[in-house]
Each structure stands twice: as structure tokens, then as C-alpha cells.
Amino acid sequence: MTLPFEAFLGISTDQLLSLALIYTASYFIKGAFGFGQVTPIILLSAWVIEPHYGILLALVTSAAAQVQFVPEALRHGSWQIARPLLVANFAGATIGIWIFGSLEPQVLMLILGLSLSMLIAADVFKLLSTLSKHVDLRSRAVTLSLSGFAGVITGVTGAGGFFFIALYLKQVSANARAFRATTFMVTGLMVAWRTMILALSGFITTQLLIDAAVLLPCVVLGSRIGSRFFSSLKGERFFRGIQALLVFVALTVIWKAARGPG
């Protein structure tokens, strides 16, 4: 059965319900931990809708969700820390978006699965934390390289690249509150930049905005439930379980891409 209204044209009610569940569960993670919602959205929605559209939909809903964090970013975020990251990241994101637009869906799915599974594995095994013991993450060359590479990754896949930025921010922030607020500042500006480039490139359509608006209640609901249950969660164990699940999903996306259409 197709939907009787103009949002999500061409998909079934069951597919829409699947997307609603994916967004609610993913923003539960956001509400509980403060980050980590985009990767599961993009990986899981690749099984429901076309991957290019899934990435665009995740970005637009994420852009809308960032608005609630602006006051915290302005009050406690550090522009001095955020500023050096932005130029290299913006340039990398622009290159990544150009690559994104030229990829066939099956190739994009393969890149999605490979890149995100490697990024999650790097986080699980704390590879960048180990690297930080041997390399000065505050040096200008390392900062620009990490930020630019993160921009390319997020430009192509829509997720994952901020992992590199978060490591840098953790090292240079004065305290947990400053880290959180500066994270909001950096992610908000980066999402705004990618959204603007995508809009100028013709990727942001009226239909996309309508579809994103339909999913916003799921974003709010998932975020609030996650925030409410945060104190009762076994944080590290829960998040590692989510990461293991995402690696599995990424591998299934690679398998689906390798099979080809059909």
C-alpha cells in the first residue's frame, strides 16, 4: 500500500514505519550520549531507501535538530578552538559532496559500509587515542589534516568524519562542559556548511524538506527518551553494543552492494 499523502512518495507505509523506528532509535542514542545518531540512520536507512536520498534526509533532519543546541554553543563553546578546524573541514566537505554527487548508488553503498565500519572499528580499538600518544594533535599540520579528512568523509558518506574532530576537541578543551559546547558549535557550523553546499548544488528539494519534517517528531521523541533514561544506562557497555551492531550493519551493507541490484 502506498501512502495517501505527498510525503515520501513511492514508498510503502511499512517502509515509512521502518524509517520512523530508525530515526527514533538513533536519536535515542543522541539523547543518551550526545552524539552518534547519524551513522546508524545512514547505514540502516540504506536498506529502506536509496542511499543518496538517505544521506540527504539524515543531513536535513540533523540540521534542524542542531537548532536546539545553539544557546549552549554560544554560552560555553570556544570560537578560538573551533575556528582553525572550519576552513580545512569546509574545503574537504565541498570535495566530498562533489564525489557524493558523482557516485552510483551501489558504489556509494560500498563506500558507506567500508568507511563507516573502519571508523567504528578505529573507535572501538581506540586507535586514535593510541596515535595521540605519539603525535601532537594540537599541531597546525595535524589539526588541518584531521579536519580536512573528516570533511571529505562526511561529504561523501554523511557521517563518521566527526570522530576525528571529537578526539582533537577532547584534547584541547578546558573541561567537559566546554568540550560539549564546542562540539555543538563545530558540528552546527559544519552541518550548516554542508547543507548550504548541497542546496546550492540542487540536492535540497521541496520533497526532501517535506520528508524531513515528517520525521522530526521521531527526532524529538527519541532525543527526549534517551535523555530521560541516560542515568539508568550502563553507558560504556551500551555504547559498545551499539558500535558492534553498527559494524554488523555496515558489513551487511557491503554485502548488499557487492551483490548488485536485485
**Is residue 1, in this structure, part of any structural domain at all?**
no
Domain count, the chain: 1
Contact 221, 66 (CB under 8 A): no
Question: Long-range contacts for 197-205 (Cβ within 8 Å, ≥24 apart)?
Answer: 197/93, 197/94, 197/97, 198/56, 198/59, 198/97, 201/97, 201/101, 203/56, 203/97, 203/101, 204/56, 204/60
CA 66 – CA 188 distance, rounded (Å): 6
Closest CA to 147 of 13, 21, 155, 55: 155
Which residues are within 8 A (CB) of 77 and not within 5 positions of it... i.e. 6 or more apart?
A: 178, 181, 182, 184, 185
pLDDT, position 3: 47
CA 181 – CA 71 distance, rounded (Å): 9
**Is residue 128, in this structure, part of any structural domain at all?**
yes
**Is residue 27, in this structure, part of any structural domain at all?**
yes
**Is residue 91, in this structure, part of any structural domain at all?**
yes
pLDDT, position 24: 94
**Is residue 4, in this structure, part of any structural domain at all?**
no
**Is residue 6, in this structure, part of any structural domain at all?**
no
* Alpha-carbon distances of 166 from 10, 162, 257, rounded to whole Å: 38, 6, 30
Instruction: For residue 151, give its domain range.
Output: 13-259
pLDDT, position 241: 65
Q: What is the DSSP string of 102-140?
A: HS-HHHHHHHHHHHHHHHHHHHHTTHHHHHHTTS-TTSH
**Is residue 23, in this structure, part of any structural domain at all?**
yes
Per-residue pLDDT of the chain (262 residues; tens, 9 = 90+): 444 446 687 788 899 999 999 999 988 877 766 666 788 898 889 888 988 999 999 999 988 888 877 888 888 888 988 888 898 999 999 999 999 988 888 888 888 888 878 777 777 777 766 777 777 767 788 888 888 988 998 889 887 677 677 767 777 777 777 887 888 888 889 889 999 999 999 999 999 999 999 999 999 899 888 777 765 555 566 666 666 766 777 787 788 777 766 5
- Cell 546550492 appears where? 200
**Is residue 167, in this structure, part of any structural domain at all?**
yes
pLDDT, position 130: 77
CA 71 – CA 201 distance, rounded (Å): 30
Question: Long-range contacts for 21-25 (Cβ within 8 Å, ≥24 apart)?
Answer: 22/48, 23/61, 23/215, 23/218, 23/219, 23/222, 24/218, 24/221, 24/222, 24/225, 25/222
* Alpha-carbon distances of 131 from 123, 135, 146, 149, 168, rounded to whole Å: 12, 6, 12, 16, 12
Q: How far is CA 230 from the centre of its chain?
A: 20
Instruction: Determine whether 220 is exposed, middle or buried from the number of CB atoms within 10 Å of its CB (0-12, 13-18, 19+).
Output: middle
pLDDT, position 98: 92
SS3 88: helix
pLDDT, position 157: 86
CB count within 10 Å of CB 25 equals: 18
Which residues are within 8 A (CB) of 216 and not within 5 positions of it... i.e. 6 or more apart?
A: 61, 64
